[in-house]
Structure 1
Amino acid sequence: MKHKTKITGLLSLLIVTITISCNQKEKVATSNTDNTEQKQTGDNIVTRFGDLKLESGYPSEDAITKLYDERDFQRACQIHTWALPMVGFHGLHLAQRDQLGIKDGEISMFFDLKDKSGMLTPNITTLYAFSFWNFDKQGAFVIDAPAGLIAGGLLDLWQQPITDIGQTGPDKGAGGKYLFLPPGSKMIAAPGYRVYISPTVQVWFGTRALDPNPKIAEETIRKFKIYSWNDRSKATVTNFVPVNGKAWTSAQPTDANYFKMVAEALEPEPVQTRDRVIYGMMASLGIEKGKAFQPDERLTKIFNEAAIVGELTARANAYEKRFDGSIVWKDKHWEYANMVELNQEDSNYTQLDQRASWFYEAIGNSTGMQGRILGFGQVYLETSKDKAGKWLVGSKSYHFHVPANAPVKQFWSITLYDNVTRGPLVTDQGSADMSSRKDIEKNADGSVDIYFGPTKPKGANKNYIKTLPGKGWFPYFRFYGPTETYFDKTWQLEDIEEIK
């Protein structure tokens, strides 16, 4: 009986508790309903961008202004992220054409730090060669590649590779003729040519010469030929234009001009299906094919702010990645710089953040640049933090240890970049760069110690790279021709460590 009484008491308590709970929920529900009705009949709605007044459920004139301004600002910010690969392409094209005076179809040559100072995260070790082409103006064309130690390819407006050319291309470094056709073309038979159809009107050819002998590297590059398909029977001469240390820059604008570049770059291009929703967003902002880009005062103000916020968002996305798989080694701060698939697609979505991270910092992509081929191509690793997880800054001194037997068939290099411009960090020492091809001091076991700081740290060896107080910096560590111990992770880089 005692047990029965206890159970009856517990049941009674449970019933009372449930009843009270239900009554409370009813009151909350009624309260929420009342609040909703009140807000829909005239109360202010408090938001992060201001109070919005409703009038019988309709937004007031002031609320409408705020809502459209906020909508347009949000859309502009997302367009900024989406457009980074294309604006990077267009910025480089404009720099080559307008600042360096190099015509489409000519090949520019970048030899050293001065030549590459306006480029996003270039390596300082190898010779670069670039050329742009416009199918609407110049028609189908041919790249006749020489045999030799070269790596590169042809990219579309979105910096998606149409094909690699050289060591990681179908010619495997043996050279050959590549024919490129405009968007919408039908495939043609062209014996002796590898034939590709471009998805975009504007394309960019980029390559690097990897021979350690500078003379041979230049001779190899100068054997390239680029010419119109219609001129294939004629004796065509390709014009090579050394940059010769001219000042230039290709960094994305941080004002409304960013969106002007978006409009310019897209004007001649076919619309890709995956981007149609973005095109709808752009149309509401006056960025539309066939129409002049003429933003009014309101939109110009929004574009200026969105360019700044977009730039800082891109910086956060690059240096504090929040997408999976970016960390190379557990409990270390080294990250994969390039995590972009060749078509920029993941299994269920377009790689919006991954490609924004890479193309904010860098230019170009190819099979060879993804760092997945044993013995060929390049690996790009980056870090922006020291061993303690703090940002790398120019006012502090650091030590960096590269273990012996680096997993490379060719060479490794480390290059420091300005974290704002993403261009090479330049000091009175010259380039902030070191590689295994240079005369570096090695330890008895073959490992290498490198030092960074505004002044040479006490006890440092000759492997010293100068930094600048007041400037943040980040390094790329490149593996040229990565080997097995990189891929199986039995060889690992150390974190950069602050010298207290």
Structure 2
Amino acid sequence: MSPARTWTLPDLAQVRMDGELPSRADLPTIFDQLDYQLACQAYLWALPLVSYAQWQNQHRKVFGANDFDLVHYVTYRDRLGLITANATTPYILNFIDLGNTGPLVIEVPPGHTAGGFSDFWQREFGILGEMGPDQGRGGQHLILPPGHPPPADADAYFVHHATGMNIMFGFRTLDPDPERARALVEQVRVRPMAGQAPPTRLISPAGRTWSGDQPRGLDYWIRLHDIYQHEIVDERDRFYLAMLRQLGIEKGTPFRPDERLTTILTAASASGELMAQANTFAKRFPGAKYRSDRTWDLAVQIEHSDQRGQYEDQLLERASWFYEAVSFSEAMKSTIPGVGQAYLSTYTDADGNWLDGGAAYVLHIPADPPATLFWSVTVYDASTRCLIDNEQQRGDRGSRDTELVAREDGSVDVYFGPTPPPAGETNWIQTIPGKHWFSYFRLYGPLESYFDRSWKLGDITRS
């Protein structure tokens, strides 16, 4: 591919007119602007698809996982490439191309698990474990590719109809005993409904460097072109696919952008990410703030797994969440006290300034956070949206930390900064000078005072 040339965004105000029409000599300027705008919008539209495609690529190229394996993320280092990973519980998952496997069977043993299946637009289409149809009793889950009829013996399975050819299968173990949890994971099997498959391997990242965040520059479009070759077309996306065609991305056609298009796509991926950052880190959705007197947002702006609103699909809400995070389930939007999770996010300090890795801050957490199970506060790198890769090799503090120090009234102060605070290291999360960061506050099993917003989490304040 041709190297990118220095390029300035075309200024349509400078287009010369020939009467009521643009000068023919300036038509290339107009078309450059048109293609650039198409690319910026396509960037935002494709964020969830490219995110999962990138992660699938890392599973295959870095970890050597095939369609029938599982990758087990246990350690902090394992999760450093995972966008806004939970730092407290392990992940077990893989990305599967049903075009390779055909109908797929996943055998799960009885036990305390929670998980499910989603397509590469990150729309959940099936649940397993304690919240699923097996209710933790185990069983065989059959995944049917789009349009595939159920088999004659469908009653022998929990049947799920995939909404895409590429899927993510993932789950977490809920048993606090690590040995029992590991034994359960080792019993999970992934196999085709018909024919033989190699044994399901449990693969560890084993400290290897990997990245699940969306690629930058032309690599973003290369990844998008590649996954498009292996995916079905949703009716709602046909206009966006027309945009891709104008940008040289077509099904069944190699991606070979010329110098002009390479330059435009490279610029548009940079501009698209700026738009994604603003759309995520300065949410302007109605009701995005958890409380009007605090900086904390409701991190998840998607309403339902199908990403559909009453009159329109949630394009920018989807782009916001899937720029900063991966996967969605209805449990993340729990409306029932004691069930599911709640995610609050903040990107600025109490004064409205981006959080600075070279500065010191404190977060005051009032007594009795409204969580049935536990709460945690986590720090993420603003550039990668992944766990902060600090010397501490720890990016969170929470109620499961036995060493966490509380005040006499039960409240907790958590400190952030490049060096330990005078209070010591116990409640401290190390940040990195020269890098911005943001934070999630998670509540597992949120209670009524979260839903009625009477519990008032402090802002992150410079100390």
TM range (shorter): over 0.9
Which is further off, 322-331 or 368-377? 368-377
Measured at CA, do residues 329 and 173 of structure 1 come closer, stay the same or move farther in structure 2, by a change above 3 Å? farther
Deviation string for 1:122-167 (max 9, x for gaps)? 1111111111211111110112223333222111010100112223
Q: 1:351 aligns with which of 306, 310, 314?
A: 314
1:80-111 residue CA offsets vs partner (Å, 9 max, x unmatched): 00000000110100011111111122000000
Residue in 2 aligned with 1:201?
A: 165
Aligned match of 2:111: 148
- Match for residue 62 of structure 2? 99
Given that 1:163 and 1:366 are in contact with CA atoms closer than 8 Å, whether structure 2 keeps it comes out as no
2:6 maps to which residue?
none
Q: Does 1:294 align with 2:227?
A: no
Against the structure 1 CA distance between its residues 356 and 325, is the aligned structure 2 distance closer, same or farther, given a 3 Å change threshold? same
Q: Taking structure 1 as reference, are residues 220 and 94 closer, same or farther at Cα in structure 2, changes over 3 Å only?
A: same
SS of the residue corresponding to residue 430 of structure 1 reads coil
Distance 1:235 1:139, change over 3 A: closer
How far apart are the structure 1 equivalents of 2:462 and 2:376?
21
Counterparts of residues 332-347 of structure 1 (less than 5 Å)? 332-340=294-302, 341-347=304-310
Q: Note if 1:466 corresponds to 2:437.
A: no
Of 241, 262, 277, the residue aligned with 1:315 is: 277
**What are the residue-to-residue correspondences of 1:31-110 with 2, within 5 Å?**
48-110=11-73
- 1:249 matches 2:211: yes
**Structure 2 counterpart SS, 1:121:** coil
Compared CA separation, residues 292 and 161, structure 1 to 2 (3 A): same
Do the aligned residues in 2 keep the contact of 1:318 with 1:360 (CA within 8 Å)?
yes
Q: How far, CA to CA, are the matches of 2:365 and 2:133 in structure 1?
A: 34
- Structure with greater proportional helix content: 1
Alpha-carbon spacing, 1:297–1:220, altered in 2? closer, same or farther (3 Å): same
Larger RCO of the pair (alpha carbons < 8 Å, separation 6+): 2
Task: Read off the aligned partner of 2:49 and give its amino acid letter.
Answer: M
Rounded Cα–Cα distance in structure 1 between residues aligned with 2:233 and 2:169: 22
- The answer as to whether partners of 2:87 and 2:395 remain within 8 angstroms in 1 is no
Of the candidates 191, 204, 221, which is equivalent to residue 259 of structure 1? 221
Q: CA deviation at 1:49?
A: 4.1
Structure 2 CA distance for aligned equivalents of residues 252 and 404 of structure 1: 38
C-alpha distance in 2 between matches for 1:493 and 1:426: 26
Aligned residues between the structures: 451
Shift of 1:376: 3.1
Matching residue's letter, 1:458: P
1: CA distance, partners of 2:323 / 2:218: 17
Give the TM-score, by structure 2 length. 0.93
How far did residue 481 of structure 1 move? 2.1
What corresponds to 1:218 in structure 2? 182
Shifted more, 468-477 versus 437-446: the winner is 437-446
Instruction: Report the 3-state secondary structure (helix = DSSP H, G, I; strand = E; otherwise coil) of the residue aligned with 2:244.
Output: helix
User: Residues 476-491 of structure 1 correspond to what in structure 2 (within 5 A)?
Assistant: 476-491=440-455
Match of 1:19 in 2: none
Q: Secondary structure at the match of 1:277?
A: helix
Work out whether residues 152 and 366 of structure 1, in 8 Å CA contact, stay in contact via their aligned partners in 2: no
Q: What are structure 1's unaligned runs of at least 5 residues?
A: 1-46
Residue number in structure 2 paired with 1:386: 349
CA offsets, 1:322-347, max 9 Å, x none? 11121112211111111212001111
Q: Distance in 2 between matches of 1:334 and 1:460?
A: 26
- 5+ long unaligned stretches in structure 2: 1-9
SS at match of 1:298: helix
What is the aligned-residue identity percentage? 39
Q: Distance in 2 between matches of 1:49 and 1:242?
A: 52
Larger Rg: 1
Indicate the residue corresponding to 2:202 in structure 1: 240
The TM-score with structure 1 as length reference comes to: 0.86
Contact 2:114/2:128, CA 8 A, preserved across alignment: yes
Corresponding residue number in structure 2 for 1:364: 327
Q: Is the 8 A contact 1:88 1:251 kept in 2?
A: yes
Asked if 1:137 is matched to 2:100, the reply is: yes
Whether the aligned pair in 2 keeps the contact of 1:149 and 1:167 (CA below 8 Å) is yes
Q: Is the CA contact (8 Å cut-off) linking 2:77 and 2:393 kept in structure 1?
A: no
Structure 1 residue 455 displacement after superposition? 1.6
Q: Distance in 1 between matches of 2:445 and 2:156?
A: 29
Q: Does 1:403 align with 2:366?
A: yes
Task: For 1:182 and 1:202, locate their aligned partners in 2 and report how far apart those are by CA, in whole Å.
Answer: 9
CA contact (8 A) 2:68 2:199 kept: no
Q: How far is the alpha carbon of 1:475 from its aligned partner? A: 0.8
- Once the two structures are overlaid, the 10-residue window that deviates more, 423-432 or 305-314, is 423-432
Is residue 2:458 matched to residue 1:494? yes
CA distance in 1, matches of 2:397, 2:334: 20
Quick one: distance in 1 between partners of 2:233 and 2:262?
A: 25
SS at match of 2:121: coil
- Alignment check: 8 A CA contact 2:343 2:443 kept: yes
CA RMSD of aligned residues (A): 1.8
How far apart are the structure 2 equivalents of 1:228 and 1:377?
32
Q: Give CA-to-partner distance per residue, 1:418-446, whole Å, 9 cap, x none.
A: 00111111211221211211121122232
- The answer as to whether partners of 1:52 and 1:62 remain within 8 angstroms in 2 is no
